Structure 1
Amino acid sequence: MMRSADSLIIFVARVALAVLFLWGGAMKLMGYAGFIGYLQTRGVPYPQLAAPIAIAIELLGSIALVFGIRTRAVGFAMAVYAVVTAVFGHDFWNVTEAAMQQDVAVHFWKNLAIAGGFLLLMVTGAGRLSVDAMRTPRGGLRG
């Protein structure tokens, strides 16, 4: 049985994880051409296709998390996305300058930590304060 405090904490976690990607997706959308250029410099295959997909994942995934819509599936998708962006965007193993390598490594490991948070949401679900809970019979205890 899930306590009310648990659901509140899960809600705060959902919002905390979503804010970063909501902001990032909005910035990518506003600087679309620059984002495509960045993807090209990072060696991302098919940047013209990857850019709208990345923006959609960040914006739609964040909105779904805030409202608790399909949280388990979105949590898994966002975890995969965080790992992929860590590998393509924070490849510290290719950086030769020590200070820069340390900075990029921190961002790489932060992405993996964020992926861990998304995986926890995949396991716990959205909690009672969510659309998912409204769809679940008996008050959404599985959330």
Structure 2
Amino acid sequence: MDVVVLIGRILFTTAFLLGGLGHLTATQAMSGFAASKKIPRPTLAVQVSGVWILLASVLLVLGVWPDLAALMLVVFLLATAFLMHNFWTLRDEQAKQMEQIQFTKDLSLAGAALALFAVYAMDSHPGLNLVGPLF
């Protein structure tokens, strides 16, 4: 089962690894979107969030403090859901629907990351980790 958990961690973090790279390679484009959502210092916010999710992803894949890594993703996902995908403020129905889908996706992924945290916080620590949980 350890191999299955490791594969699951790799699959789970794929979107975050690619997203983090996108934050750092397409900073200007992403900063424009962040600015449109009234995020303070949007360029810095995009860069910091990119490093944040890359770090969390690498820690989780390697199994280095996987509980901390999962919590880092929860923080990122909840912030992104409420700050970037605030569909309830939109009037255009198509844009509202798209943002609601993204909001729901982020909440669902936050739930999965929270479940990962719980798994690693328990007595058993599956998944071929380099270093066990921090908490």
The normalised TM-score by structure 2 is 0.86
Counterpart-to-counterpart distance in 1, 2:29 and 2:101: 24
Counterpart-to-counterpart distance in 1, 2:100 and 2:64: 32
Residue deviations 1:22-51 (CA, integer Å, cap 9, x gap): 001111211122222221111112224312
Equivalent AA in structure 1 for residue 5 of structure 2? I
Residue deviations 1:74-125 (CA, integer Å, cap 9, x gap): 1111101101001111111012122221221111011001001111111112
Equivalent AA in structure 2 for residue 94 of structure 1? T
Give me the CA root mean square deviation.
1.7
Identity of aligned residues (%): 25
Where does structure 1 lack aligned partners over 5 or more consecutive residues?
137-143
Asked whether the 8 Å contact 2:27–2:43 carries over to 1, the reply is no
Structure with the greater alpha carbon radius of gyration? 1
SS, match of residue 129 in structure 1: coil
Where does structure 2 lack aligned partners over 5 or more consecutive residues?
none
The normalised TM-score by structure 1 is 0.81
Match of 1:95 in 2: 90
Alignment length (residue pairs): 129
Shift of 1:9: 3.2
Asked whether the 8 Å contact 2:64–2:131 carries over to 1, the reply is yes
